[in-house]
Amino acid sequence: MASKKNININLKIWRQKNGKAKGQLVDYKLDNVSTDSSFLEMLDQLNEQLVSQKQEPIAFDHDCREGICGMCSLYINGRAHGPDTGITTCQLHMRMFKDGDTIYVEPWRSRAFPIIKDLVVDRSSFDRIQQAGGFVSVNTSGRTIDANAIPVPKDDADKAFEAAACIGCGACVATCKNGSAMLFVGAKVSQYALLPQGKVEATQRVLNMVRQMDEEGFGNCTNTGACEIECPKGISLENIARMNREYLKASIK
């Protein structure tokens, strides 16, 4: 890896006061960035510099900073979650960049993800898709049976688990040339469709989630496969195919 410990970088970062304002890319110079720091720590460092200069710090989303919550986003140098693969932005490290690099930092771009401020976008469209069917209805009166009492074939359990790894970050939408949310919805549909508990509501689930997805204004999949490559959780295109099967089954029922 890079032998040099600290690098100087140029940043082009999207600044936008609020959803209605016109935004623009603003140039920043940041010196002495440790290659061991994460991308978000680099932004923290820049924000400290901005605050000390009495400027408005850059707003960006983050929470767990350990790659599991799906809160961080950022379109970095033309790639969702930046140049590394299989990771979220909070897991991206500055050792991926070289001294003197110019780094573009933009928010997720989608009609269904309106900008709130700077790099922060509103991803509640994902929540509404989830609310439309991404659940299993159970009676919580206290007499629910243990989930492990129902046998599940190992292969199905593994596939469901892989689909359930989706953290709802929206990188698939951000990277898709069509702004399509089909990898996210495919993962959510698959996660339940593969398990006996989820099969009960499978028909309504896929119809409702796809309807909500369309209503939110996401685009249509053209199977470019970009989402699969940029997804930090390695959600496979196979989940979109499964959703397509489920939707066909549900439509002719």
Residues of this chain that bind ligand HEM (CB under 6 A)? 220, 222-223
CA distances for 179 relative to 51, 165, 175, angstroms: 34, 21, 7
Q: If residue 25 lies in a helix (H) or strand (E), which one and from where to where? A: strand 24-34
Shortest distance (Å) from residue 61 CB to ligand HEM: 30
Q: Restricting to residues 117-156, which ones interact with other proteins according to CB under 8 A?
A: none
Q: Restricting to residues 23-62, which ones interact with ligand FES according to CB under 6 A?
A: 62
Residue 26's contacts (CB-CB under 8 Å, 6 or more residues apart) are: 12, 13, 14, 15
Residue 42 contacts which entry, ligand SF4, ligand HEM, other proteins, none (Cβ below 5-8 A, type-dependent): none
75 scored as a contact of other proteins (CB under 8 A):
yes
245 scored as a contact of other proteins (CB under 8 A):
yes
Give 99's DSSP letter.
Answer: T
191 scored as a contact of other proteins (CB under 8 A):
no
Residue spans of alpha helices (H) in 145-252: 154-164, 171-175, 182-193, 196-199, 202-215, 226-230, 238-252
168 scored as a contact of ligand FES (CB under 6 A):
no
SS3 29: strand
Q: Restricting to residues 182-211, which ones interact with ligand SF4 according to CB under 6 A?
A: 183-184, 187
**From 13, 33, 42, 72, residue interacting with ligand FES (rule: CB under 6 A):** 72
15 scored as a contact of other proteins (CB under 8 A):
no
71 scored as a contact of ligand FES (CB under 6 A):
yes
- Residue 114, strand partner residues: none
Residue 64 contacts which entry, other proteins, ligand FES, ligand HEM, none (Cβ below 5-8 A, type-dependent): ligand FES
Give 95's DSSP letter.
Answer: G
Please tell me the distance from the alpha carbon of residue 206 to that of residue 188, in angstroms, as a whole number.
Answer: 9
Neighbours of 17 (CB within 10 A): 13
**From 221, 232, 233, 235, residue interacting with other proteins (rule: CB under 8 A):** 221
Residue spans of alpha helices (H) in the chain: 39-52, 124-133, 154-164, 171-175, 182-193, 196-199, 202-215, 226-230, 238-252
Nearer to ligand SF4, 33 or 79 (CB): 79
Q: Restricting to residues 38-67, which ones interact with other proteins according to CB under 8 A?
A: none
171 scored as a contact of ligand SF4 (CB under 6 A):
yes
**From 19, 78, 86, 234, residue interacting with other proteins (rule: CB under 8 A):** 78
